[in-house]
Amino acid sequence: MAHVRVSLSSPFLGSLVSSSPRSLRRPFPLPKSAPSSSTMASLGDDPIREWILTEGKATEITRISPIGGGCINHASRYDTDSGSFFVKTNRRIGPSMFEGEALGLSAMYATQSIHVPRPYKVGPLPTGGSFIIMEFIEFGSSRGNQSVLGKKLAEMHKAGKSSKGFGFDVDNTIGSTPQINNWSSDWIEFFVEHRLGYQLKLALDQYRDSTIYEKGQRLSKNLQPLFEGVVIEPCLLHGDLWSGNISSDKNGDPVILDPACYYGHNEAEFGMSWCAGFGGSFYSSYFEVMPKQPGFEKRRDLYMLYHYLNHYNLFGSGYRSSALSIIEDYLRMLKV
Ligand SMILES: Nc1ncnc2c1ncn2[C@@H]1O[C@H](COP(=O)(O)OP(=O)(O)OP(=O)(O)O)[C@@H](O)[C@H]1O
């Protein structure tokens, strides 16, 4: 999914902070009558209505309201006599993007740990494009309790195990950049090839940035000392955990949305922490469930580097110096 990354601590985007990213726009009331035969005949033209009025077990859709906040997709709330549904549509991109999102949501949902919307249906739109229908979540007013967020995220990491190694069953996107998830039994190899390597090559191709490419490659070949004494089990990651994808439900429990899931080193989950505002209570609760591993602090910037490079590739040179200085600091530290 595409994002404009907004971090209160970001020196680049501070003025873009939206005051109410989750606010609903003006709703469009629908007629309350039961579906007529002509409506029924046209249901096949509208697979969203069709699913809601059949498998969704509703007999009428009472209102459809657009929801703001997203960047690349159109989001709506469908209110029905069997509850509300959250629907995203994209008029240009086929179902593969939403299939990736749905598989990620299903995997996280299956851990029964942190609240994520349950995905119901993905499909093509008859006029081109695609849709996803999922559980509608009524958000609460607060951002939720940091300590509970840390604990529940760690529970998800602990419960979400993989028998296939590092990767995911489908590729997905990080922002709008493809994220390759080919399975691998070796975490460093996976991270070097499909995370750092992909972004470095993109920077070379689109900006001809041979400096960042060559220094980044040199770092990639010398990562081993950062992982000494660490046992890395693949665990389910949200993959794009920043403040725009974290909320709370009306009970105050944390909710995480809009994932770019894969199975990876749990510490890679903190790669977006520079846009997430995690505090001390978040980390202490997290580490009670998923103990901190030796060298955690040394690897923290490495995992951020992937996302800084992605921001550089998505949004341009404002992020280049952050990415380059992380690379150069590591080259100095590792003496390579
Ligand atoms: N299950 C849900 N129930 C209710 N509201 C939701 C749900 N999922 C997302 N939203 C809200 O809908 C808005 C758009 O969703 P989302 O951010 O997933 O859209 P997108 O266009 O796919 O993403 P992006 O932000 O990556 O462009 C967000 O502001 C979010 O708060």
Nearest Cα to 193, choosing from 211, 179, 177, 176? 179
Q: How many domains are there within the chain? A: 2
Q: Which residues have a Cβ under 8 Å from the Cβ of 305 and sit 6 or more positions away? A: 196, 271, 323, 326, 327
**Closest approach atom of ligand 1 to CA 245:** 17
Residue nearest to atom 17 of ligand 1 (CA): 70
Same domain, 311 and 165: yes
Final residue belonging to a domain, choices 100, 135, 170: 135
Query: Per the domain annotation, does 13 fall within a domain?
Result: no
Residue nearest to atom 9 of ligand 1 (CA): 257
Alpha carbon of 63 to ligand 1 centroid (Å): 18
Same domain, 181 and 232: yes
pLDDT number for residue 311: 98
Confidence of residue 79 (pLDDT cuts 50, 70, 90): very high
Judged by DSSP in three states, 236 sits in: strand
pLDDT (tens digit, 9 = 90+) per residue, 227-276?
999 999 999 999 999 999 999 999 999 999 999 999 999 999 999 999 99
Q: What mean pLDDT is reported for the chain?
A: 88
pLDDT number for residue 70: 74
By the 10 Å C-beta count (0-12 exposed, 13-18 middle, 19+ buried), 185 is classed as: exposed
Same domain, 179 and 265: yes
Same domain, 197 and 279: yes
Alpha carbon of 195 to ligand 1 centroid (Å): 25
101, 240, 257, best to mutate for ligand 1 pocket (most atoms within 8 Å of CB): 257
Same domain, 108 and 182: no
Alpha carbon of 36 to ligand 1 centroid (Å): 32
Q: Is the pLDDT of residue 5 over 70?
A: no
**Closest approach atom of ligand 1 to CA 73:** 21
Same domain, 181 and 125: no
Alpha carbon of 230 to ligand 1 centroid (Å): 36
Task: Say which range, 19-28, 121-130, 246-255, 271-280, has the weakest mean pLDDT.
Answer: 19-28
Same domain, 166 and 31: no
Same domain, 164 and 40: no
Q: Is the pLDDT of residue 198 over 60?
A: yes
Confidence of residue 69 (pLDDT cuts 50, 70, 90): confident
Domain with residue 82: its CATH number is 3.30.200.20
Domain with residue 235: its CATH number is 3.90.1200.10
What value of ipTM does the predicted structure carry?
0.97
Alpha carbon of 245 to ligand 1 centroid (Å): 8
Exposure on the CB side of residue 49, measured as CA atoms within 13 A = 16
Same domain, 307 and 244: yes
Q: What residues are in contact with ligand 1 under a 6 Å CB criterion?
A: 1-3, 21-22, 67, 69-73, 75, 86, 88, 117, 134-137, 257-258
Alpha carbon of 297 to ligand 1 centroid (Å): 32
73, 78, 93, best to mutate for ligand 1 pocket (most atoms within 8 Å of CB): 73
**Closest approach atom of ligand 1 to CA 134:** 1
Q: Is the pLDDT of residue 115 over 60?
A: yes
Catalytic-residue membership of 253? no
Identified catalytic residue from 240, 249, 253, 258: 240
- The model's pTM: 0.87
pLDDT (tens digit, 9 = 90+) per residue, 303-335?
999 999 999 999 999 999 999 999 999 999 999
Nearest Cα to 262, choosing from 196, 210, 194, 318? 194
**Closest approach atom of ligand 1 to CA 69:** 29
DSSP per-residue string spanning 126-186: TTSSEEEEEE---B-SS---HHHHHHHHHHHHHH-B-SS-BB-SS-EEETTEEE----BS-
Helices then strands (H, E): number in the chain? 10, 12
DSSP 294: T
High-pLDDT (> 70) share of the chain, %: 87
pLDDT number for residue 35: 42
Provide the domain limits for residue 171.
146-334
**Closest approach atom of ligand 1 to CA 175:** 26
Query: Per the domain annotation, does 162 fall within a domain?
Result: yes
Final residue belonging to a domain, choices 77, 106, 135: 135
pLDDT number for residue 43: 58
Query: Per the domain annotation, does 3 fall within a domain?
Result: no
Same domain, 215 and 98: no
